[in-house]
């Protein structure tokens, strides 16, 4: 059967048992601005009596929060830009994790920030999605965040995808925007 590979972003997507290669890494780890790529899809014909059709899991989206250097950002809930699960009868690959970027004066909270890879439609045959990218850019080290970051790849596929990136950096922050795509 023609299983399809996982999407890549911060980490490479997993290969499928059919030989389909996972998506590659791309984008900036320090200032992510791109969503994750979708998993492999598009198996167009009937194969051994199985109906046609497969679609890759959607890539995770992009979340961007920008506050001035005097303003703080507190995350006590969950910010999620996870990749989607592959679809179709058996074939679709998992989508890659997306991107989360926060620019702020102070950063605090106890929440969860994640951009994880999605699962393939068929575990152990399709490719899982790679992890996404997270960047927290705060004004000169003012950070008391005690929550968790997650950019794990999906490991249920034929070949494990790769972990994404998390960057915590000190920067000069200016401007005020709140962008969710």
For residue range 50-109, list pLDDT tens digits in order: 556 678 999 999 999 998 877 889 999 999 999 999 987 778 899 999 999 999 988 999
Distance between CA atoms of residues 156 and 165, nearest Å: 20
% of the chain beyond a pLDDT of 90: 60
Amino acid 112: pLDDT: 98
Is the confidence at residue 43, as pLDDT, over 80? no
Distance between CA atoms of residues 65 and 135, nearest Å: 11
Q: Please give the model's pTM, rounded to 2 decimal places.
A: 0.88
Q: Are 8 and 38 in contact (CB under 8 A)?
A: no
């Amino acid at each position: 059967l023609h299983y399809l590979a996982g999407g890549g972003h911060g980490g490479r997507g997993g290969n499928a048992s059919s030989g389909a290669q996972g998506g590659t890494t791309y984008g900036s780890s320090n200032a992510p601005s791109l969503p994750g790529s979708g998993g492999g899809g598009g198996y167009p014909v009937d194969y051994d009596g199985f109906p046609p059709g497969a679609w890759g899991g959607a890539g995770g989206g992009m979340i961007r929060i920008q506050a001035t250097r005097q303003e703080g950002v507190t995350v006590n809930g969950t910010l999620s830009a996870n990749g989607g699960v592959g679809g179709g009868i058996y074939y679709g690959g998992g989508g890659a994790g997306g991107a989360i970027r926060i620019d702020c004066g102070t950063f605090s909270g106890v929440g969860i920030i994640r951009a994880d890879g999605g699962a393939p439609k068929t575990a152990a045959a399709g490719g899982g999605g790679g992890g996404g990218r997270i960047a927290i850019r705060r004004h000169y080290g003012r950070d008391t965040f005690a929550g968790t970051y997650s950019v794990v790849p999906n490991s249920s596929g034929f070949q494990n995808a790769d972990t994404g990136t998390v960057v915590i950096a000190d920067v000069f922050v200016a401007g005020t925007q709140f962008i969710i795509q």
